[in-house]
Amino acid sequence: MMKVAKFGGSSVADASMIQKVAQIIRSDQDRKFIIVSAPGKRSKTDIKVTDLLVELGKKHEANEAVDDVKAKIIERFQTMINNLALSSAIVDDIKDTIDGVLYDESLKDNRLDSLKAMGEDSLAKVLSAYLQSLGEEATYINPRDAGIIVSDEPGNAQVLDESYEKIYRLRDHKGIMIIPGFFGFTKDQKLMTFPRGGSDITGAIIAAGIKADLYENFTDVDSVYCVNPNIVENPKEISELTYKEMRELSYAGFSVFQDEALIPAFKAKIPVCIKNTNNPEKEGTMIVSDRKNPITGTVVGIASDKGFLSLYVSKYLMNREIGFGKNLLQILVDEGISFEHAPSGIDDMSVIIRKDEFPKEKEQVVIKRIQEELDVDMVTVERDLAMIMLVGEGMNSTYGVASQSTQAFANASVNIEMINQGSSEVSVMFGIKEDELEKAVQSLYHVFFENKIKV
Amino acid sequence: MMKVAKFGGSSVADASMIQKVAQIIRSDQDRKFIIVSAPGKRSKTDIKVTDLLVELGKKHEANEAVDDVKAKIIERFQTMINNLALSSAIVDDIKDTIDGVLYDESLKDNRLDSLKAMGEDSLAKVLSAYLQSLGEEATYINPRDAGIIVSDEPGNAQVLDESYEKIYRLRDHKGIMIIPGFFGFTKDQKLMTFPRGGSDITGAIIAAGIKADLYENFTDVDSVYCVNPNIVENPKEISELTYKEMRELSYAGFSVFQDEALIPAFKAKIPVCIKNTNNPEKEGTMIVSDRKNPITGTVVGIASDKGFLSLYVSKYLMNREIGFGKNLLQILVDEGISFEHAPSGIDDMSVIIRKDEFPKEKEQVVIKRIQEELDVDMVTVERDLAMIMLVGEGMNSTYGVASQSTQAFANASVNIEMINQGSSEVSVMFGIKEDELEKAVQSLYHVFFENKIKV
């Protein structure tokens, strides 16, 4: 068995967390490939190391004094090392590396991106030294040496396929490998960071490259919940999810991690496990390609999000007009507006758009173009909509889910503005008014998770 | 009060029907503008006069003997006239007119279209003569003299706006006017027939032109039913419908008349009444622009139709791809395929298409183009779908309808393949498997019309 374990920012925020991480690694000899984030916040008012590094880079660029910020960064690692009883030589190495990035002339075009990656890089050094101090055979492995080759896009690097062959060779490496997350190197050796969810991406790439049996993603929650815990108190935990379900849940309000970060692992069909660094005995949530025991007709999760609007267009005899839908969507494409869904009736069509894609100033332009170019009878915009998604593979193959979910809305006296079922095989989507979201979700949770109704 | 009354083919099929029509006209002095169809079938095995005229035209064109067919046509009118005790001079006039069309050199490019209109034209002459014989002041008015000016499109004439001013002058005409339906004249005096529902179109044009208070559409049913009578026995009658509701009902399986024929009346906001020539005392169904007493949350009708298919396309991260939906629809437009609806999920999209728009040979081409041009993960076609529409203005503003309708499907053990609610303000659409249509519709009827549940 080969496992890749990734530890997020809160899991490596200070020495005591690093001790927990070390214990988790040592408790399972299959955990050979370790990916780390940069140290996160130790308290609500704390600053993440990566944010300090960004500040450092910006001040340096503006020719402002950088000593204070640099001292804060070094101090974070110095305190860790002291509390872990490690040699100060590691801090000297971290300091030299940061100075190297800060004053290297050849990095001047891409300095900020390289600096941003120093939190992960430094933490990987600390963790490997700590594991060594405990008698483990542990090695810090730079992403360059690991074989993570990426495109030349600072802050948005994409892994190149040729990486995987190189990474596969890591399987022959002895002992535990500690690899900093969040970055890779271009073919000509330039450091590039990944987009959002960067350390998760590194973990997924390594898992795919070494053909891991499991990719463990350690966070600060016990598992993925079946509903937003801000809406329902102590909601049920999900023990198993499929990739497809995860993808649909992530769409509307599930923020355990960026689901797109996991694409490399998904493509290689490697199971992903979400676990809690503070509670590693808990089983967590498994995310798999296919469910071992397919369950039909079950809702596995309820996702919800606010911040949508609906653009409604009606035109008599619309459905006789070949190309009307296409022309309407073309106007949105022209204006750079990404839409979510476009359900249509006989003589009308609604386009669901995220609010931030459709600011008030664009509204005027779009409405005017629709009126003039498409000669419609009516075009209106309804703001303040929320979307709720019921997710579960095979859910759509039973008639119970439709009737029970609509009953749940009726129970909560919530009017359904929109239902979109059948376009996805994994989910049903409901549109309602934003201010009714909480009671609707609570009612759905009650019906599908508390009553344990067999559907 | 000014009323326009239109009588369909079955209402003027023989002398006894014409007597009924005359009685209806005479029973209400507001019925001044009468539009007639050509005589329809008197029995199941009978041939419509218009079909005989088409046969006559085709034989003439092919230089075949026409005497037999012509004799059949003349005989239809001769029998009528005998039974109505009218002068044979009318039959001579009808015969001369038909011969005129048949042998006029100037008509050679458009002879068939002119011939097709002779059934309506002849019947209008018979009816006005009969009304005169009863002592009424009745006049046959040719559409040219009525002012119906149309575009130069044989079989697909569109009324020109300038007609309405001319038609308005008919208000000053004394007595009852009998106008043949189904055709008008171009500016250079060429006869052109309307598309399907031709006599209904003439009625709607005259009603709009004279600014009628009511357009009565006499057919052979007592009213519009709230559900297809072939699926539910003796269904409830609808006493009032709005134009919008009628339009949505017509879409899927309501065939009392072509709703598009009524457009001129709808645009002029003239109420339309559907009545039965054989039972004129019945109130019939009123179709109005706005309901006098708006009813919220009520389903007024259930329409249903078979013969749909769903084209399902899935692609990972589809919703991040601006223009995907538009590009998919563009392929359909290129191939000349008109689609009905295109609901979309996160990473998938379904396009609902009528089967006859998407023959098997086009399926290959379209699927290949989608695969190659859009690089999708999956594209499949599901045939044999039926659509059910619940129709009612204001229905969507209550939460009861959604839960009760889905419950009705569950009661009938029918799985809902698709729900499309919210794109139309007047209807909710469900997609199910064709072979489950009957039991689903029966269950919906039971819930919304038999139980009289207040929603």
Q: What is the pLDDT along chain B (455 residues), one digit of tens a residue?
A: 999 999 999 999 999 999 999 999 999 999 999 999 999 999 999 999 999 999 999 999 999 999 999 999 999 999 999 999 999 999 999 999 999 999 988 888 889 999 999 999 999 999 999 999 999 999 999 999 999 999 999 999 999 999 999 999 999 999 999 999 999 999 999 999 998 779 999 999 999 999 999 999 999 889 888 999 889 999 999 999 998 888 888 776 666 566 778 889 988 999 999 999 999 999 999 999 888 766 655 889 999 999 999 999 988 878 777 778 889 989 998 998 888 788 877 788 888 899 988 988 899 999 999 999 999 989 999 999 999 999 998 776 667 788 899 999 999 999 998 888 877 778 899 999 999 999 999 999 999 998 654 44
Interface contact flag, B421 A423, Cβ < 8 Å: no
Interface contact flag, A330 B326, Cβ < 8 Å: yes
Known binding residues of B: 6-9, 50, 120, 219-220, 225
- Beta partners for A432? A386
* Alpha-carbon dihedral sign for residues B49, B55, B59, B64: negative
- Residue in B207, B34, B175, B182 with CA at minimum distance from that of residue B115: B182
CB of B326 within 8 Å of a chain A CB? The answer is yes
Known binding residues of A for ATP: 6-9, 219-220, 225
Confidence bin at A397 (pLDDT 50/70/90): low
pLDDT of amino acid B257:
61
Question: CA–CA distance from B151 to each of A268, B116, B156, B161 (Å)?
Answer: 63, 17, 8, 10
For chain A, the average pLDDT equals 91
**Three-class DSSP category at B276:** strand
Task: Tell me what the mean pLDDT of segment A80-89 comes to.
Answer: 96
Phi/psi-derived region of residue B284, left when phi > 0, alpha when psi is between -120 and 50, beta in every other case:
left
**Three-class DSSP category at A15:** helix
B-contacting residues of A 332-391, CB under 8 Å? 332-333, 336-350
pLDDT of amino acid B254:
64
Asked whether B205 and B263 are in contact (CB, 8 A), the reply is no
Asked whether B21 and B90 are in contact (CB, 8 A), the reply is no
Asked whether B350 and B311 are in contact (CB, 8 A), the reply is yes
Interface contact flag, A414 B406, Cβ < 8 Å: no
Shortest CA gap B174–chain A (Å): 37
**What's the ipTM?**
0.77
Task: Tell me what the mean pLDDT of segment A116-133 comes to.
Answer: 97
Asked whether residue A218 carries a pLDDT value surpassing 70, the answer given is yes
- Point out the residue among B322, B397, B429 whose CB comes nearest to the CB of A333: B322
CB of A310 within 8 Å of a chain B CB? The answer is yes
Find the residue in A nearest to B348 (Cα): A424
- Point out the residue among B333, B336, B399 whose CB comes nearest to the CB of A409: B399
- Residue for token digits 């070094």? A74
| Chain B interface disruption, residue of A320, A326, A350, A354, most B CBs within 10 A | A326
Interface contact flag, A399 B416, Cβ < 8 Å: yes
- Measured CA to CA, the distance from residue A169 to residue B20 in angstroms comes to 94
Asked whether residue A418 carries a pLDDT value surpassing 80, the answer given is yes
Question: Which contiguous run of DSSP H or E holds residue B22?
Answer: helix B15-26
Q: DSSP letter string over B178-192? A: EEE-SEEE-TT--EE
Mind listing the domains of chain B with CATH numbers? 3-220 (3.40.1160.10), 301-450 (3.30.2130.10)
- Look up residue A318 and give its two tokens: 């619309």
B-contacting residues of A 256-295, CB under 8 Å? 260, 263
pLDDT of amino acid B304:
92
- Residue in A13, A2, A37, A5 with CA at minimum distance from that of residue A275: A5
- Look up residue A449 and give its two tokens: 């998770």
Q: DSSP letter string over B191-216? A: EEE-SSSHHHHHHHHHHHHTT-SEEE
Q: Indicate the angle between helix axes A49-61 and A118-133, nearest 10 degrees.
A: 130
Asked whether residue A453 carries a pLDDT value surpassing 70, the answer given is no
pLDDT of amino acid B249:
85
- Beta partners for B287? B241, B272
Chain segment A284-315, per-residue pLDDT in tens: 999 998 887 666 558 899 999 999 999 999 88
Task: Tell me what the mean pLDDT of segment A189-210 comes to.
Answer: 94
pLDDT of amino acid A110:
86
Find the residue in B nearest to A399 (Cα): B415
Give the number of beta-carbon pairs within 8 Å between A and B.
191
Shortest CA gap A420–chain B (Å): 5
- Point out the residue among A405, A410, A423 whose CB comes nearest to the CB of B343: A423
CB of B407 within 8 Å of a chain A CB? The answer is yes
Q: How many beta carbons lie within 10 A of that of residue B63, not counting itself?
A: 7
pLDDT of amino acid A454:
45
- Point out the residue among B323, B420, B427 whose CB comes nearest to the CB of A333: B323
Task: Tell me what the mean pLDDT of segment A364-387 comes to.
Answer: 93
Find the residue in A nearest to B418 (Cα): A422
CB of B425 within 8 Å of a chain A CB? The answer is yes
Q: Above pLDDT 90, what percent of chain A?
A: 69
CB of A399 within 8 Å of a chain B CB? The answer is yes
Q: Which long-range contacts (CB under 8 A, 24 or more apart) does A189-192 make?
A: A189/A144, A190/A110, A190/A152, A191/A110, A191/A113, A191/A114, A191/A117, A192/A110, A192/A113, A192/A150, A192/A151, A192/A152, A192/A153, A192/A154, A192/A155, A192/A157
Between vectors from CA A181 to CA A176 and to CA A184, what angle results, nearest 5°?
110
Chain segment A308-342, per-residue pLDDT in tens: 999 999 888 787 777 788 899 899 989 988 887 88
CB of B330 within 8 Å of a chain A CB? The answer is yes
- Point out the residue among B260, B346, B414 whose CB comes nearest to the CB of A424: B346
CB of A325 within 8 Å of a chain B CB? The answer is yes
